[in-house]
Structure formats: C-alpha cells, structure tokens
C-alpha cells in the first residue's frame, strides 16, 4: 500500500501500518490553521473508509500551531439555513463516529470550535502542553453545531461546559486534563510520538475486542445505564465465540505474548 493517499487537505501516512498497525492522518491546511470545512471532513471520512478493513489504530493530528482552529468561517458566512440542511456534514460526522477502531487525537496549538468537536469525537485526546481548547462560536454570533454543547457537557459537566461555551473563553491543556477532556498532557514536540506509542499498545490487542470496547464506551454516552450494561454483557459474552479470546487467555496462562488474528 502507498504510504500516502492523494488528498487535498489531509495527509494519510500508512508506513507504520504493516509493522505496528498504526495510520496517521494529518490535517494539512496550515494557511487557515487547519480550519475544518466540509471538504476536509469529507476527505477524513474517505480516508477512514479506505483503511477500515485493515483494522488500524488511527492517530489524527494537525501541526504545532493548530490541530484545527474551528470551522471555516468563509464557508459559513453567506450560508442560509437551507444550505446548512443540505450540506452533508451531519452524515459525515455520523460516519466519522461510526469508525469501528480507536482514533486518537494528537492535539497541539489551537483546538477550537469544529476542531474541538472533531477532537472530542475521537476516542481520546493526547494534548501537547501548548494546546488551547474552546468553543468560541458565541464570539461570532452562532452556536456549536457538532457536539460542542453535547459531547462537551457530557465530558466535563454542565457548569464547565456552560462557562466556556457561553463566554467563548479558551482553556489550556492542563485545565482540559483536570476536567477529564484530555487523557494525557505531554511536551508539544512529543505529542504525535506519544499518541503513536499509545496507538501501538492498542494495536497489539485483539481487533474485535477493541471494536466491542469502543462500542460499549460510546454506548455509555448515548444510552441509559441499563441499556449500556445490556450491551456490555452482550459484548462480553460474544468474545467467548472468538479465537482471540481463547488465544489471549491461553497466552496468559502460558506466560507468553498473545498472537491475535481478529477472529
């Protein structure tokens, strides 16, 4: 497989896939601080679709200045409600969130608005110590539209989400970690390396177990506790039909590394 797909606004690097099971997608619109327009989101989803059958762990990142500094204001300025309804962003967000394997956001610099929503839609965030987060839509007379009032509130709680969404203030990586938005803060020059190391650890696990755990955690966001527990039990029982479950437990008893096949 080629190490880079041919896209306009993103770079897709698969050189680590065969050895470590990791694919890196880099937002590549530096002149606009990686502003997230529909075309860029469409390319991300297309890239994920193209690699899904390979069971990869994905690292999604930007550059040192910005993960993504919001949505593309130029695209939105002249838009009417009908334009927003007819835009395929809602479908694209749904497809992004339905990717079956873990996606790790490696965030440096500005992570604002739509960029913040993209990072929150990933499975976890590893942030550089220069990262700045926020939902600044209130500053331009509009509201978050892709999770900035929903995922943000569910993650950090009503008081913190209300404060930052209603004032438009930014907050740093250490505040984000304290609120539970970020899994880990690292020196910004090592953010992608740290995210890849985390991805490599995941890639050594059973691909099917990864999928089922991701499904269960997402269900905790989207269902009641009782429904989530039903799904969790179903997934747990399902693993006992898998070769990987037998291999993992046998390897543990034999004190050797497991050799998973995804079956």
* Residue 199, domain member (yes or no): yes
What does the pLDDT read at residue 1? 47
Q: Is 47 a catalytic residue?
A: no
145 and 61 in a common domain: yes
Percent residues over pLDDT 70 in the chain: 92
Q: How many domains does the chain have?
A: 2
- Closest by CA to 73, choosing from 137, 20, 118, 152, is 137
pLDDT score of 91 more than 70? yes
Q: Share the mean pLDDT of the chain.
A: 92
150 and 219 in a common domain: no
Q: Is 203 a catalytic residue?
A: no
Domain end marker among 203, 219, 239:
203
Helix (H) or strand (E) holding 171: strand 171-172
Residue 168 main-chain phi, psi, to 5 deg: 75, 10
163 and 223 in a common domain: no
Q: Is 169 a catalytic residue?
A: no
What does the pLDDT read at residue 261? 87
Catalytic-role residue among 117, 131, 176, 194: 117
Catalytic-role residue among 66, 71, 176, 203: 71
Domain end marker among 203, 220, 237:
203
213 and 128 in a common domain: no
Say which CATH number the domain at 121 has: 3.90.226.10
63 and 176 in a common domain: yes
Report the predicted TM-score, pTM, of the whole model to 2 decimal places. Answer: 0.92
Q: Is 79 a catalytic residue?
A: no
Mean pLDDT calculated for residue range 14-33: 94
Percent residues over pLDDT 90 in the chain: 85
pLDDT digits (tens, 9 = 90+) for 24-75: 999 999 999 999 999 999 999 999 999 999 999 999 999 999 999 976 676 6
pLDDT digits (tens, 9 = 90+) for 206-230: 999 999 999 999 999 889 999 999 9
197 and 223 in a common domain: no
- Closest by CA to 38, choosing from 129, 196, 145, 159, is 145
Catalytic-role residue among 21, 62, 70, 114: 114
117 and 242 in a common domain: no
151 and 62 in a common domain: yes
Domain end marker among 203, 229, 245:
203
Decide: 170 and 136 in contact? Cβ < 8 Å: yes
59 and 129 in a common domain: yes
54 and 127 in a common domain: yes
Query: Is residue 10 very low, low, confident or very high in pLDDT (cuts 50, 70, 90)?
Result: very high
Residue numbers of the domain that contains 65:
10-203
235 and 190 in a common domain: no
* Residue 1, domain member (yes or no): no
Catalytic-role residue among 62, 109, 137, 248: 137
Alpha helices (runs of H) in 13-135, residue ranges in sequence order: 17-20, 38-51, 73-77, 81-86, 89-97, 114-121
* Residue 237, domain member (yes or no): yes
């Amino acid at each position: 497989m080629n190490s880079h797909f041919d896209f306009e606004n993103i770079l897709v690097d698969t050189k680590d896939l065969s050895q470590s099971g990791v694919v890196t997608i880099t937002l590549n619109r530096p002149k606009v601080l990686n502003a997230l327009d529909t075309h860029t989101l469409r390319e991300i989803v297309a890239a994920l679709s193209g690699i899904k059958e390979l069971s990869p762990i994905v690292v999604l990142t930007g550059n040192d200045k910005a993960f993504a500094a919001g949505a593309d204001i130029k695209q939105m300025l002249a838009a009417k409600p009908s334009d927003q309804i007819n835009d395929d962003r809602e479908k694209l967000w749904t497809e992004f969130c339905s990717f079956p394997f873990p996606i790790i956001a490696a965030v440096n610099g500005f992570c604002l608005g739509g960029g913040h929503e993209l990072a929150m839609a990933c499975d976890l965030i590893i942030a550089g110590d220069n990262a700045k987060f926020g939902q600044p839509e209130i500053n331009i007379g509009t509201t978050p539209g892709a999770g900035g009032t929903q995922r943000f509130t569910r993650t950090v709680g009503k008081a913190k989400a209300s404060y930052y969404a209603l004032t438009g203030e930014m907050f740093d990586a250490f505040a984000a970690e304290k609120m539970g938005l970020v899994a880990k803060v690292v020196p910004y020059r090592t953010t992608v390396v740290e995210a890849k190391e985390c991805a490599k650890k995941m890639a050594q696990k059973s691909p099917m177990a990864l999928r089922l755990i991701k499904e269960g955690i997402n269900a905790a966001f989207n269902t009641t506790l009782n429904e989530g527990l039903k799904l969790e039990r179903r997934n747990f029982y399902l693993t006992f039909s898998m070769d990987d479950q037998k291999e993992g437990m046998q390897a543990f008893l034999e004190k050797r590394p497991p050799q998973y096949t995804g079956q």
